[in-house]
Amino acid sequence: MKIRQIAWFLPLALLATSAVPPSVRGDSATLTNAKACRKAVDKQGRNYAKKRLKLLLGCVDKLLKCEVLLEVDGTNANSCRSKAEDSCVKTIGPASDSSLSKSGNIFATIAGTACLPFGTAAMESNAAGGLWYGNDGTCGGSGDIPTLLACLRGEIDVRVDTLVGEVKPRASLLLDSTSLGVDFPNVPRPPTVTVVISATAPASGVLVNPGTINVPQGSALKFTGDATTLPCGGPGMSGRVTITVGTGSTAQQRTIREPWGPNEAAVFGPYIVSGDQPYTLDYKDMSCNDTTSGTVHTP
């Protein structure tokens, strides 16, 4: 073939080749749904874990600052504690509009929407193409996607809260001295001696003296109120008991208020040095006023 003929033929050959589309294999709908579900759970789970860690550490730092003010400089910490707890309620409280609740809802909504086309059975299947969540000893066998995701989020909570307790060793004591401690049961806690403050009879206004409270070394001391005997001032919520342990600038002070019960607690310690410290319980509820005292003894 002459050169001129080759030059004329080549563009036609290229045009013919480009007119035939290459063979492209598209993902099946099942594969697309599986990848979307896996990606959403991974990404949203990671985002939720980071947010929970940041919010919880931030709250603990605010509470710890108040205790350091008291313990180092002898500064009255009541105002600081009140502001810190208000801030913590907004960020990690159980209400639906707290920052932590919103983060959990984002995880559930985005991951749930992404996984809905794939389905619960496929997510839990350990056969080819499944995501193997059925092998999770805690969450396997969940009846639907929202239940499965809520369980997975609970597993994240355990790991994050355990880490918080390791990074901030006083975290549990600080949280338990607010209304929030009950919502974070997985933050590691020291052994605890619990004293229930009660009156001699319902609405008597006279406190039962706990006497000497023995707290082993390494243990914390927790005070709660008796919901049956302490209410004294009628249907209002004015009752409170202020607990002071120690003397002078190193004294620690907490206040518990109505509604009485295990969720309203004051925690001290843990006590790591043997010795005795005085404590005082100051009770006020409208017409009822009483004070009693004793000793915290650590062998």
Q: What is the pLDDT of residue 234?
A: 65
CA distance 283 to 254: 12
Q: What is the pLDDT of residue 211?
A: 97
Q: What is the pLDDT of residue 235?
A: 64
Question: Mean pLDDT for the chain?
Answer: 89
**Percentage of the chain with pLDDT > 90?**
72
pLDDT value at 20 more than 80: no
Mean pLDDT score, 16-23: 44
CA distance 153 to 107: 8
pLDDT value at 160 more than 90: yes
Q: What is the pLDDT of residue 142?
A: 92
CB 47 within 8 A of CB 107: yes
Q: What is the pLDDT of residue 25?
A: 56
CATH topology of domain 192-298: Immunoglobulin-like (2.60.40)
* Cα R_g (the chain), whole angstroms: 30
Domain ranges of the chain: 29-183, 192-298
Q: What is the pLDDT of residue 52?
A: 98
pLDDT band at 3 (very low <50, low <70, confident <90, very high): very low
Contacts of 234 (CB under 8 A, 6+ apart): 286
Q: List pLDDT tens digits, range 184-222.
A: 999 999 999 999 999 999 989 999 999 999 999 999 999
Q: Which one is predicted more confidently, 275 or 23? A: 275
| DSSP annotation string for 19-84 | TSPPP-PPPPHHHHHHHHHHHHHHHHHHHHHHHHHHHHHHHHHHHHHHHHHHHHH----HHHHHHH
Q: Which one is predicted more confidently, 22 or 109? A: 109
Q: List pLDDT tens digits, range 52-103.
A: 999 999 999 999 998 888 778 777 777 898 899 999 999 999 999 999 999 9
pLDDT value at 260 more than 70: yes
pLDDT band at 178 (very low <50, low <70, confident <90, very high): confident
CB 194 within 8 A of CB 181: no
- Closest listed residue to residue 134, CA positions, set 145, 123, 144: 123
Mean pLDDT score, 251-260: 88
